[in-house]
A and B are shown apart, each in its own frame.
Chain A
Amino acid sequence: MSGSLAGRLPGPVMVAAGCGGTGRELEPYAGPDGLSGLDLVTRSITLDARAGGPAPRVVEVPGGLVNAVGLPNPGLEHFLATELPWLVRAGARVYVSIAGSTMGEYADLARRLSRAPGVAGLEVNVGAPDEVGAGLFEVREPYHSASVIAAVRREFPSDRPVLAKLRPDVSRIVEGARSCHEAGATAVVVGNAVPAAFPDGRAGGLSGPAIAPVALRCVAQVHHALPDVPTIGCGGVHDLRSANAYLDAGASAVQVGTALLHDPTTVTRLRAALSPRPDAPPDPRPEETR
């Protein structure tokens, strides 16, 4: 299996791309150990800085959020100079999410990040809900995403994971996961936000508890068809039960995203629940706030 040399897989709980701020904003809620040992996927980093989209970027709907944030980020240069060193010093295991408008940009990002100290792995954003609107490389067909993964894999050391984050499209997910894995993805993240529209018709992505059943179906299908492909479940994870649903369906890990916007301690609680330390002191906080 390709990518089998790619070191340790993250998990069982990770911070999903785009829901952890720059990482710093999570620290006050990360408990006594802070970000130490936390598998954190950064918001998507592009070669050049992006200001992000116009307001409203996020609108609440029943069961979740419709969002089109527009990948605001300071660009690779600034990220390497400031945000990455901070995260590394805080002890986080940093998976840098990368997004590009061309295959060449993905390759450039991978090459430069391969030399940056402290990058545990990459997550390639090939499943944005509206990649054309966001100015990203179009990945209509599984072979489009597979060629991006191959370009990234060529530039990134084989002993570190490359994750492919896919669109949770039930009809295409197995094909997409297979192509990306064959192209060198260590694991597939299933999935990104579901393509949706704002109440005014603008394109966006739906995320949150509402999409959990969809992403869960995708994870189950991938695991059934491709049991050797490590799969990371993402979509509506907010408590032990929703996390376990993915793990039971065959996911090797889960990512927590939108739930952090509702309760910034979610990742901390899930990490504690899924990897208990025998010597851990009892949590003094009341049950409902944990």
Chain B
Amino acid sequence: MADPGPVHPSVHVEGEVVATKRVGGYRHLTLTAPGVPERFRAGNFVAVSVAGHTARRALWVHRVRASSAFGPTLDVVVEARGSGTTWLAGQPVGARIAITGPLGRPFALPRDAVSCLLVGEGYAAAPLFPLAERLRERGCAVSLVVSAPDEARLLSALEARRSARSVTVLTADGSVGQRGTVADHVDDLVRRSDADVVYAAGPHTVLRSAAAAAERAGSWSQVALETPTPCGTGLCHGCPLPVVGEDGVERVVRACTEGPVVRGDRIRWDALGDDR
């Protein structure tokens, strides 16, 4: 795997909501954030300050446009789960929002044009979409799997059909696509796509089953962890991630600075526990 390359320093800027739409159970926001889209690499995230809240809200970047009528923009997908994300999802066009980004380590890209399986669940599948574009530019064969508990929480794979050789849709309740979870299908998907690299984004259970399937097939895996990050910038040490280092030594690192993308075989899943 190629090193993600030099890390461009992130910036803290005032962005503006330039478009917003509801898609199923999620709100998609298009934001300007001077300097952030230009520095973005697939797998990076942004942290947003919410008025009246001390901790930040970390958001995956679903799409970056190098140019638009508003200049460079980025799209984020928000699921309104608490007061902060509800506030964010309710922001109208023209609202100004303090944004820090891009943050964290991005996905490492293969040096060669290999076969890649991308597996994502729910809104957290968002970072796989810009990744699919980058992989296609490198000539990789991309197989994309989007899954969700139900149709309302499924990210549309329509636009990704340009970047992906094949697209598989899974829903736990069978409301659209194949019925079942990532854990049910991932071994079969790895085999059918003949994946050299498995990329996964979603809840811990999805990442763990994707990483395990990759290991069984002798492939690499890279997973984008959804871990609560109180600051997102590495300052607070509040997002412990138990890993095994390259040196074989167990340690606890910060999910926001050492992650969010980590090699799947480096994570101590039992110590990490279920999604919080």
In contact, B14 and A261 (Cβ under 8 angstroms): no
Q: Given contacts A21-B233, A261-B54, are A285 and B14 in contact (CB under 8 A)?
A: yes
Interface presence of A209 (CB below 8 A): yes
Whether the Cβ atoms of B56 and A262 lie closer than 8 Å is yes
| Most chain B beta carbons < 10 A, residue from A64, A263, A289 | A289
> 1/0 contact trace for A22-40 toward B, CB 8 Å?
1011111100000000000
B54 near A21: Cβ-Cβ < 8 Å: no
For the complex, give the distance between the alpha carbons of A21 and B224 in Å.
22
Is B10 located at the chain interface by the 8 A CB criterion? yes
* B235 and A264 contacting across the interface, CB-CB below 8 Å: yes
Judge if B244 is at the interface, Cβ distance under 8 Å: no
B1-53, CB < 8 A from A: 9-14, 49, 53
Q: Are B54's CB and A262's CB within 8 A?
A: yes
Residues from chain A with Cβ under 8 Å of B100 in the complex: 29, 264
Q: Answer whether residue B230 sits at the interface, using C-beta atoms and an 8 A cutoff.
A: yes
* Contact between chains at A261 and B56 (CB < 8 Å): yes
Inter-chain contact A56/B276, CB cutoff 8 Å: yes
Q: Mark B207-234, 1 if CB is under 8 A from A, else 0.
A: 0000000000000000000011011011
Residues of A within 8 Å of B55, CB to CB, are: 58, 60, 65, 261-262
Q: B231 near A289 (CB under 8 angstroms)?
A: no
With contact pairs A29-B12, A54-B240 given, residues A19 and B54 touching in the complex (Cβ less than 8 Å)? no
Query: Mind listing 20 A-B residue pairs with CB under 8 Å?
Result: A19-B235, A22-B234, A25-B257, A29-B11, A51-B240, A52-B252, A56-B238, A57-B230, A57-B237, A57-B240, A58-B238, A60-B53, A65-B230, A67-B236, A72-B237, A260-B235, A261-B238, A285-B13, A288-B96, A289-B12
Q: Interface extent on A, as a size class?
A: 35 or more
What are the residues of chain B within 8 A of A286 when measuring CB–CB? 14, 96
Number of B interface residues in the complex (CB < 8 A): 31
Q: Which of B10, B49, B53, B238 contacts A69 (CB 8 A)?
A: B238
* Given A58-B238, A263-B49, A63:B233 Cβ within 8 A: no
Candidates A28, A53, A64; contact of B10 at CB < 8 Å:
A28
Instruction: Pick the residue among A24, A63, A264 that contacts B12 (CB under 8 A).
Output: A264
Contacts of A263 in B (CB 8 A): 12, 49, 98
The residue on A at minimum CB distance from B9 is A28
Please give 10 more A-B residue pairs, beta carbons under 8 A apart, in addition to A21-B234, A209-B54, A262-B56: A21-B257, A27-B9, A29-B12, A58-B236, A258-B54, A261-B230, A262-B49, A288-B14, A288-B98, A289-B98
Complex interface: chain B residues within 8 A of A28 (CB): 9-12
Name the 9 nearest CB pairs between A and B, nearest first.
Answer: A58-B238, A289-B14, A261-B231, A25-B234, A28-B9, A58-B230, A60-B55, A51-B252, A21-B235
With a cutoff of 8 Å between Cβ atoms, the chain B residues found around residue A69 in the complex are 236-238
